Every structure is written in C-alpha cells, then in structure tokens.
Structure 1
Amino acid sequence: MKRVLIPVIAVLVAVSVLMGHASAQEVKTLRGEAGFSETNSAAEINQVIESGRFPQNYRQQPPLIPHRIDKYEIDLKVNQCMRCHNWQYAAKEGAPKISETHYKDHRTGQPMDDVVPGRWFCTQCHVPQVDAKPLVENTFQN
C-alpha cells in the first residue's frame, strides 16, 4: 500500500507545482486590448429599473427581479425573497406570488406546503433587471 501512495503523492506535488507556475504567468484577455475602464462598470450594471418591468424575451423566461437584491440573504436556512413572495405573505406585501411550480416535488409531481429545495435559491434562475449596455454585440431580437 505504501509503495502505491508514494508515487501518487509525488505526482500530486508535481502537478500542484506546475499549476502554481502556470497561474503566475501573464493572464490574457478575450477583450483584446480594451481595459476594464473602457467596458461597463459594476456601478452602471447595478442600476435597477424603477420605472417598470422589462418584458420577457422568450417563452418560459423566468421573470426578472425589478428591485435591488444585493443585500438579500439566501442560504440553506434563510431566503429573504420568501418574506414577500411566498404565498402566505404576497397579498399583504403587494408582491407577486411565486409560481405554483415552485411548490411541486420534481420527482413525484406532488404539491408541497413549502418551496421545494430545487427552487429555494431564487437567483439560480431570476436576475435583477438592469438597463445595461450589452457586454458583447449580438443580434438577438424578442
């Protein structure tokens, strides 16, 4: 057993040394010669549209979030989105109720009382809407 472990450890050490050497080399960008100041800045992207909701661009697109969420806590135990959008609170808070699909077990199709774990992390599908210039030119049309 020891005879097998020694070569494996040697290979792992060699790979980690080589990776450290590779990461120390100059990083090349796909943007060409454009510097970071010449592209969209984070402050520009974080501006949320207050004047209304953007239309959906394609069938079954998850709705965009029309407000800031940068301080919202979403982890295994807490989801601040649910304080307004869960079915129990939506009417009182004046917020859209999350879809019934978020309460259905994916495997069995059975309705659940709470949001199913696969739908708990809202930002895996929903993103804040912003009026930002495209990072890359494209010809997409609604």
Structure 2
Amino acid sequence: MSRKTLILVSLLGVLVASGCAASQSYTEEELGLRKVDLYSEKTVVAESTAYSTVAAGESKVYERAFENAPPMIPHDVEGMLEISKENNACIGCHLPEVAEAVKATPIPKSHFYDMRTKKMLGELSQARFNCNACHAPQSNNQPLVKNEFSPEYRSKEGTARSNLLDTLNEGVK
C-alpha cells in the first residue's frame, strides 16, 4: 500500500470516528411518538377513540385504504359485538339479498367461497363469520403521523367494492 493511500485511509477513519462521537444523543423520553419512558407504561394515557355514533344507513362511508381492503364500519356498533357463529348482527343487513334494500354494502362473493375446496358455498363461509376480525369501526381521531400512502385502484369501483375472488389467482397458472 502506498504512503498516500495509507494517509487518506487514516484521515477518513479519523473523520468517521469524530463524526460518530459528535452525534447528538436523545433521552428515552424524546424517542417515539408518546414521549414517555420506554420501559414504563405508567404515564401513558391513550387518547379516547371517537367512534362514529351515527346510525347504520346514515353514515359517511370512507374510501377503502387500498384495493380489496376490508372496508371500515361507518356506523355505530353498540350492541352488535361480540360476534359469534350463532349471533352475528352484521348479516341481517349485509347479506347480498338484503343489502340493496337497506342501502348497505353487500358481503362480497369471497365470503361465500371455501378457499380449501375452491368451491362456492350456498351460505356464508364458516371461516368468515367473525366480521370484526378484519372490519373495524371508523374513528374520527386524527393520526399521530401524516399518512402519505396513495392507493392505486385498477378500476373505479375498487374504492367501494371488492373483487378479491375475481383477482385471487390472477397470474397463477
């Protein structure tokens, strides 16, 4: 190795080391969004969630977050949860044969399809009865961090309707 190269590498090493030593340090309370001690939850107070209290059919439906995303629940869900196979208040309005009459979003075809047998069912799939496993009530809370994600939909209907069953195996032969 030449003397010049050795001097340049040494100078670069000194610059890197001094840059690291001069970097700013932060306390644990300055890290994260909550600005509290990271090892204790004692001082953490969550903002209360402002769920919609508007009755079903009278609420503003939000655009889906991305193509085939489960839609948010736009109405009050008081008294509708817990959901079980025997007690599911959602299907009373959202079954396809009822939804149009009550102006509700119909349950999509994918919920009447058995993914294991690859067959359409005559009823709601037993794997899809728990609606709030994917669908959550809309909240009027402001996000802690600005969301700059911008979804792209392949069709205009993608903002309000699911075509998951149609596109599930797209490109798979």
Q: Is TM > 0.5 for Structure 1 vs Structure 2?
A: yes
- Report the secondary structure of 1:118's partner residue: coil
Deviation at 1:51, TM superposition (A): 5.4
Secondary structure of residue in 2 paired with 1:72: coil
Q: Which runs of 5+ in 2 are unaligned?
A: 1-31, 38-42, 151-173
Cα distance change of structure 1 residues 108 and 35 upon mapping to structure 2, 3 Å threshold: closer
* Structure 2 counterparts to residues 23-38 of structure 1, below 5 A: 31=34, 32=36, 35-36=44-45
Q: Which amino acid aligns with 1:109?
A: K
TM-score (norm 1): 0.64
3-state DSSP class of the match of 1:78? coil
Contact 1:40 1:133 in 2 (8 A): no
Residue pairs, 1:85-96, within 5 angstroms: 85-96=94-105
C-alpha displacement of 1:133: 1.8
- The residue aligned with 2:91 is 82
State the alpha-carbon separation in 1 of the partners of residues 59 and 89 from structure 2. Answer: 23
Per the alignment, residue 40 of structure 1 pairs with 47
User: What SS does the aligned partner of 1:102 have?
Assistant: helix
More helix by share: 1
Provide the rounded CA distance (Å) in 1 between the counterparts of 2:59 and 2:115: 36
C-alpha distance in structure 1 between counterparts of 2:76 and 2:120, whole Å: 30
Aligned positions, number: 108
Residue 80 of structure 1: CA displacement? 0.6
Whether 1:130 aligns to 2:139 is yes
Alignment TM-score, normalising by the size of structure 2: 0.54
Q: Does 1:60 align with 2:71?
A: no
| RMSD over equivalenced CA pairs, Å | 2.3
The structure whose RCO (Cα within 8 Å, separation 6+) is larger is: 1
Deviations 1:48-95 (CA, angstroms, capped at 9, x unpaired): 576522122222211111101131041121111000111232233222
Please tell me whether Structure 1 or Structure 2 has the larger radius of gyration of its CA atoms. 2
Q: Kindly, what percent of the aligned residue pairs are identical?
A: 26
| Unaligned ranges ≥5, structure 1 | 1-29
Partner SS state of residue 93, structure 2: helix
Corresponding residue of 2:122: 113
